[in-house]
Amino acid sequence: MRLCSITLIICIHVSVFAFGQKVTINRDNVSLTTVIKEIKRQSGYNFLYDAGALFNTPRITVNASDADLAEVLEQCFDGLSLDYIIRDNYVIISKKILSGAEPKNAQQRQISGQVTSSKGERLEGVTVRVENSTIVTATDASGGFRMVVPSQSTTLMFSLLGFENQQITVGQAQTSVDVTMTPSLSDLDEVVVVGFGERRRGDLTGSISTVTAADIGRIPQASPQFALQGHTTGVRVAPVSGNPNEAPQIFVRGVGTWNGASQPLYVVDGQLFEPPRDGNEDVISSGSLRTPPNIFNLINANDIESISVLKDASAAAIYGSRAANGVVLITTKRGKSDRPIIEFDANMAVQNMPTFDMLATEQFVDIAREMYENSRNPDVSIARNLYGRDEPSDAVRLTSFNPQFDPESPYYIADRTTYNWQEELVDRNALNQNHSLRVSGATPRVDYYLSGGYFDQNGGINKNRLKRYTGAINLNVKATDWAKVGVNYKYTNQTSTNYGGDLEALAYAPPWQPIYGSHPSGYETVIDPYRLGTTWQGLKKYGQASIENLAALADFNTPYFDLERNFGQLYVELTPLKGLVLRGSLNLDYTSQDRWGLDQMVITNLFRPVGQDPRLQYPNAPNSQARIEHRINNSFNYQTDFTASYTKIFASKHHLNVVAGVQDQRHRRETVNLNSDNITNIPENPRYTGWGGDLANNNSFYSWNHRFWFGMVGRASYHYNSKYYLDVSMRRDASNGFARDFRWGNFYAVSGAWRISSEPFFNVEFVDDLKIHGGWGEAGNDEAAVGRYAFLSRVNTGSTTYRWGSGNGDAIGIMQLGATVNDFPNPSLSWEVASTVNVGFDALLLNNRLNVTAEWYRRITSGILQTVSLPLSVGTSNPLFNIGELENKGVDLLVGFKDRAGAFNYGISGNISFVSNMVTKLYNDQPLLISGLHRRHADNVVRIEEGRSIGTIWGYKAGGIFQTQQEIDEHFANTPDNLVTNVSHVAPGDMYFLDVHGNPTDEERFYSTTPDGRINDFDRTEIGNVLPGYTYGVNLNLGWKGLDLVVNFYGEGDVDKVNSSRRRFESMSGVHNQLATTVDRWTPTNTNTDVPRAVVGDPAGNNRMSDRWVEDASFFRLNTWQLGYSLQNSALTALGNTVSSLRVFVGGHNNIYLHRWSTLDPVNDAFPLPKTFTMGLNARF
């Protein structure tokens, strides 16, 4: 086909409807982009073009009055090297095709074919080009093409704006080829999953962040949640640790409550799942048997199509009583292609974690001796503590800790070998695997998706491991033109071992205690039970600091966690009228968890420093060799949904969608605990079949829990010509967690948007799209376990006694069992409610290459549950009331740029989220001290006080280190310290602390802000905040021919944490090992240091909670990176026709980690995040 034919087809093929569109425009010497915007505003047509096609186009002049669209376009493109096609409501612009010919001596043949869309529509104007050639043509109105190509095997390249490029290899004997092209959506046309439906990104009015399958597939961890880290604004993914058995926590725009329920609601393909509760390790862990594990840990990452996070209440309110902390929507994959596709992914990873730098034996002995020598307490004299008697017997040697540190003692140990427990029990180069096989496809009536996955992650410490098998089926059948049915099923089988040891437990060991020894197991025992005779003595072989041999216990007392989960959905969807969709679904979820524990106590008690005689441990089972425990937790959840959705377009510009429905969810959990202390024959695994002994000496318990929710939802969405938007939603929910009269709640939301760039007065050339949006909404939280069923009273009948009358010489009566009501019910308890205001804008600039999104929000959580004090005479615990209030407010900002230069394409984006958190109301204004609210981070000293963040770390301020006795005398003469009981025991090298507050006054109820010359509990103050002030991410995407590079950075700033590892291993007052930093401790010859002296008993309170232990926990890390290469067509041809694509890659996670933290990891020192290197392949057949 010659150039004239191509040009004729492209130029004259204009739909009749285009002639009916009238445009008036008069512009002189303006850019083509400016004219396109004006035409779009007047006609409603969208323009599709590559930004590079319009680059450096000359300025034009257009004069038209009430002219047809086609006439105006002719003026616009007259004299330009551009072509255009009008199809449906789109004008597609492309560069003019300049065809050429191959050398005349080349052997040639003719190829013909047809190009269609994935919906079966014939595509006109598709550019068909021979690779590395000037031979080019385009498809005609029927989608057909015909061209002359070289006779050898040839690669044809198909391209059309709005569709993904295709490459097809044509064999030597092949004369025809048919091609199907899939749409390539713009940023605005991207479909985003919202509650009970989908929406074009350009039509959103609420705040929603999304990551796609491409981002999720690059994560080497067990949990796909990490894909949100650094990619989404306002969403903080906080890893609990590097333990694969623990899923990370998600906080959406701050922490919403202090009652352990700040996690978002999870929704998988419309099915609701209970969120894990923050602050409880048993709940977060996948091995937990208290509640269902985090659903993210049970889904194969390769099965996920997208993850959307509904961040503000205007988006999340449609989920009502469980959406106060946001909603995470997980959409899984389904079949798309018109032919079967087989995909295989293989990923191998190697991980390593850092370890503590601890003291060697000689160094520890020096510090230990110094601790006792520095003591001024006469009860801790050096003579008494080093020997206990002049001639220590074996008994004293084995029971007294201190002779080991005296150079004059025969038991001196400074020259003994140093054993590094961390190096021995940390698995270096731990191997992880993640493999997945998927089959998918679609026809006009049926689409299907099947997958199987295997995941194996070595935790890296002492046999900590997670293995998981997954399966998935997604089948959708269009039975008639108006009826559709489908099934979506997921299966998970998971086994994990988690003995519980971590780096801190390993670092605690005295450096002279060996791991391996003469016991038949190969391990060294901790005690010598019969050292002094035939009676069990339990004498510690390595002094009072002896720890249990974790390596041995992992072999003889390892708990196993088995989990099996089946969940899925059956649905029927009817379309009785155009635009009306009726849908009913049944969602089922059954989870079975088993915890197995075998403690071979006859053996394991030799490896424990407690040294209990197993013959006396269970008196009723003197011949027992072991103890077995089996805990079973089964949960069943079913959910039924019925929804109706109606969509109507009026007069081509008024778009209306209405959704209404009901949702019923019921959940039942049963727990059974079985154990026996009388196991006379050690059973072999698997899982202790028969249990190997008499079960007479056993005990068990059974518990169950039943919850239900019922909701009615409604939403109306309207927009006028994609310019003015309005969304209104409502949900009415009931929960059996509250009393009958208070279990219903109504949650409303309204949001709107204005596409200001579509207004006639808006004429900014470099702005392609600008939309302002805002909203308000309310959502509830009934997940606070502290208040569940608190409207009921519990009767205690097992442990309450009374005395009645007198008898048998007992004047005060005879003890009788009774019953009491221990709590004070509150029938008026209700939800915690989060009210959110959100405003922002979305902009596309520079021919859609630059996108900017900015949002401001303010969320107030009210009705937070708090206890109210009652007089002691009431005799019950204090009741709960909805009293507390908490405010989170902040700003989210996202900037991204993407472009293409020939074969090189690139994109870079950055995001940052600022959030501040403040308590605004408490019961009686009374501050709270909460233990472990933020896991290990605040070391049990988080203060909740009006006007402060709930992440406030509360403690003393250190002033420095005493250098002389005179300084000590002057300080305590002017500022006595209540924590120092005997000033005479304080010496140079000890720390002093500041007087910052005074005792409460009538005006200042809790402490005076004026120092009072005394240090006491009122001098504790804010010394840090465990909640980050901001989080940020940077993402880079590069592509050139077959190469691709993806890099994701993530960071947190303005955050402090208590370094619990330092507080434990830098205290220098106990008998366990210490950090190597203690070598720089204060001594008379080393006074220029911030590490105080070593002294037993800590007489000056050096180790009290103070800012000595608080460190900057900010960090910036290379979160993930992946470098891949996709084989080109010539290489694939050599592999045969079975492989359609093959990509190999290398990558990593956490490979660069920048922080000021003094030990290992500001996230978690005890189980730090490992550095991971990966390699693998993605193949499609």
CATH number at residue 115: 2.60.40.1120
**613: how many CB neighbours lie within 10 A of its CB?**
13
Distance of CA 253 to the CA centre of its chain: 13
- Please state which of the ranges 268-282, 422-436, 656-670, 1151-1165 shows the lowest mean pLDDT: 268-282
Q: How far apart are CA 184 and CA 166, in angstroms?
A: 12
Q: Please give the radius of gyration of the chain, using alpha carbons only, rounded to the nearest integer.
A: 35
- Residue 191 falls within a domain, yes or no? no
Instruction: Report the range out of 123-127, 431-435, 536-540 with the highest average pLDDT.
Output: 431-435
Among 141, 156, 181, the domain boundary falls at 181
- Residue 202 falls within a domain, yes or no? no
| pLDDT tens profile 633-664 | 898 999 999 999 999 999 888 999 999 999 99
Among 134, 157, 181, the domain boundary falls at 181
Contacting residues for 440 by C-beta, under 8 A, at least 6 apart? 333, 334, 335, 336, 337, 340, 341, 343, 447, 448, 449, 450
Using pLDDT thresholds of 50, 70 and 90, give the confidence band for residue 755. Answer: very high
Residues 82 and 140 both lie in one domain? no
Among 181, 207, 229, the domain boundary falls at 181
**834 pLDDT exceeds 90?**
yes
Look at residue 804 in the predicted model and tell me its pLDDT: 61
Domain count, the chain: 2
Residues 84 and 45 both lie in one domain? yes
Q: How far apart are CA 709 and CA 705, in angstroms?
A: 14
- Residue 134 falls within a domain, yes or no? yes
Q: Which helix (H) or strand (E) holds 631?
A: strand 626-650
Tokens for 527? 């005690």
Contacting residues for 1027 by C-beta, under 8 A, at least 6 apart? 254, 255, 915, 917, 934, 949, 950, 951, 1055
**393 pLDDT exceeds 60?**
no
Name the β-bridge partners of 592: 564, 634
The mean predicted confidence, pLDDT, of the chain is 83
Q: Find out whether 782 and 791 touch, Cβ atoms under 8 Å.
A: no
User: CA nearest 7: which of 85, 114, 90, 120?
Assistant: 85
Look at residue 388 in the predicted model and tell me its pLDDT: 31
Distance of CA 754 to the CA centre of its chain: 33
Residues 55 and 122 both lie in one domain? no
Amino acid letter, residue 416: R
| pLDDT tens profile 550-569 | 888 888 877 888 899 999 99
Look at residue 715 in the predicted model and tell me its pLDDT: 95
| pLDDT tens profile 134-157 | 677 878 777 888 888 888 888 888
Contacting residues for 267 by C-beta, under 8 A, at least 6 apart? 195, 273, 319, 327, 328, 329, 330
Residues 147 and 172 both lie in one domain? yes
Distances (CA, A) of 206 to 196, 292, 705: 14, 30, 36
Q: How far apart are CA 366 and CA 1023, in angstroms?
A: 33
Where is pLDDT greater, at 469 or 75? 469
Look at residue 691 in the predicted model and tell me its pLDDT: 56
- Please state which of the ranges 285-299, 774-788, 898-912 shows the lowest mean pLDDT: 285-299
Q: Find out whether 598 and 688 touch, Cβ atoms under 8 Å.
A: yes
Residues 40 and 91 both lie in one domain? yes
Tokens for 1132? 């694939």
**403 pLDDT exceeds 70?**
no
Using pLDDT thresholds of 50, 70 and 90, give the confidence band for residue 807. Answer: low
Instruction: Report the range out of 56-60, 275-279, 771-775 with the highest average pLDDT.
Output: 771-775
Place of tokens 């207004």: 759
The CATH number that applies at residue 30 is 3.55.50.30
Using pLDDT thresholds of 50, 70 and 90, give the confidence band for residue 602. Answer: confident
Beta strand 580-599 with 527-528 is unpaired
Using pLDDT thresholds of 50, 70 and 90, give the confidence band for residue 284. Answer: very low
**484 pLDDT exceeds 90?**
yes
**165 pLDDT exceeds 90?**
no
Residues 121 and 58 both lie in one domain? no
Query: How does DSSP assign 554-584, residue by residue?
Result: HHHS--EEEEEEEEEEEEEEEEEETTEEEEE
User: CA nearest 942: which of 1070, 1118, 1105?
Assistant: 1105
- Please state which of the ranges 16-20, 137-141, 153-157, 490-494 shows the lowest mean pLDDT: 16-20
Helices (H) and strands (E) in the chain, counts: 18, 58
| pLDDT tens profile 1003-1031 | 888 999 999 999 999 999 999 999 999 99
Contacting residues for 645 by C-beta, under 8 A, at least 6 apart? 196, 197, 580, 581, 583, 657, 658, 659
- Residue 634 falls within a domain, yes or no? no
For residue 841, give the 3-state DSSP assignment. strand
- Residue 58 falls within a domain, yes or no? yes
Contacting residues for 507 by C-beta, under 8 A, at least 6 apart? 355, 356, 358, 421, 422, 1061, 1065, 1073
Contacting residues for 630 by C-beta, under 8 A, at least 6 apart? 594, 595, 596, 597, 673, 674, 675, 688
Q: How far apart are CA 653 and CA 875, in angstroms?
A: 68
Using pLDDT thresholds of 50, 70 and 90, give the confidence band for residue 1146. Answer: very high
Residue numbers of the domain that contains 132 = 108-181
Distances (CA, A) of 410 to 386, 391, 393, 407: 12, 10, 11, 8
* Phi, psi of 823, rounded to the nearest 5 degrees: -120, 165
For residue 241, give the 3-state DSSP assignment. coil
Considering the chain, what percentage of its residues have pLDDT values greater than 70?
84
Residues 87 and 39 both lie in one domain? yes
**776: how many CB neighbours lie within 10 A of its CB?**
18
- Given CA atoms 236, 241, 242, 245 in this order, what sign does their dihedral have? negative
- Residue 292 falls within a domain, yes or no? no
- Please state which of the ranges 336-340, 955-959, 1033-1037, 1067-1071 shows the lowest mean pLDDT: 336-340
Look at residue 777 in the predicted model and tell me its pLDDT: 94
* Average pLDDT value for residue range 100-105: 44
Torsion angle defined by CA atoms of residues 70, 71, 72 and 77, in that order, rounded to the nearest 10 degrees: 80
* Average pLDDT value for residue range 367-383: 71
Q: How far apart are CA 1049 and CA 1064, in angstroms?
A: 32
**627 pLDDT exceeds 50?**
yes
| pLDDT tens profile 931-941 | 654 444 434 57
Reported residue count of the chain is: 1181
Look at residue 381 in the predicted model and tell me its pLDDT: 44
Where is pLDDT greater, at 281 or 834? 834
Using pLDDT thresholds of 50, 70 and 90, give the confidence band for residue 392. Answer: very low
Residues 17 and 76 both lie in one domain? yes
Look at residue 171 in the predicted model and tell me its pLDDT: 80
Place of tokens 């009913």: 584
**3 pLDDT exceeds 60?**
no
* Average pLDDT value for residue range 437-462: 91
Q: Which helix (H) or strand (E) holds 180?
A: strand 176-181
Residues 174 and 115 both lie in one domain? yes
Burial level of 127, CB count in 10 A (0-12/13-18/19+)?
buried
Look at residue 531 in the predicted model and tell me its pLDDT: 63
Residues 86 and 148 both lie in one domain? no
Bin 950: left if φ > 0, else alpha if -120 < ψ < 50, else beta. alpha
Q: Which helix (H) or strand (E) holds 343?
A: strand 341-352
- Residue 84 falls within a domain, yes or no? yes
**291 pLDDT exceeds 50?**
no
Q: Which helix (H) or strand (E) holds 42?
A: helix 32-43
| pLDDT tens profile 905-921 | 899 999 999 999 999 99
Q: Find out whether 179 and 122 touch, Cβ atoms under 8 Å.
A: no
- Residue 55 falls within a domain, yes or no? yes
Distance of CA 769 to the CA centre of its chain: 32
Q: Find out whether 1099 and 982 touch, Cβ atoms under 8 Å.
A: yes
- Please state which of the ranges 501-510, 519-528, 570-579, 794-803 shows the lowest mean pLDDT: 794-803
Q: Find out whether 553 and 577 touch, Cβ atoms under 8 Å.
A: no
Q: DSSP letter at 952?
A: E
- Please state which of the ranges 180-184, 312-316, 692-696, 896-900 shows the lowest mean pLDDT: 692-696
Residues 54 and 126 both lie in one domain? no
Q: How far apart are CA 225 and CA 351, in angstroms?
A: 19
Residues 90 and 132 both lie in one domain? no
Beta strand 82-87 with 90-95 is antiparallel
Where is pLDDT greater, at 313 or 1033? 1033
**947: how many CB neighbours lie within 10 A of its CB?**
10
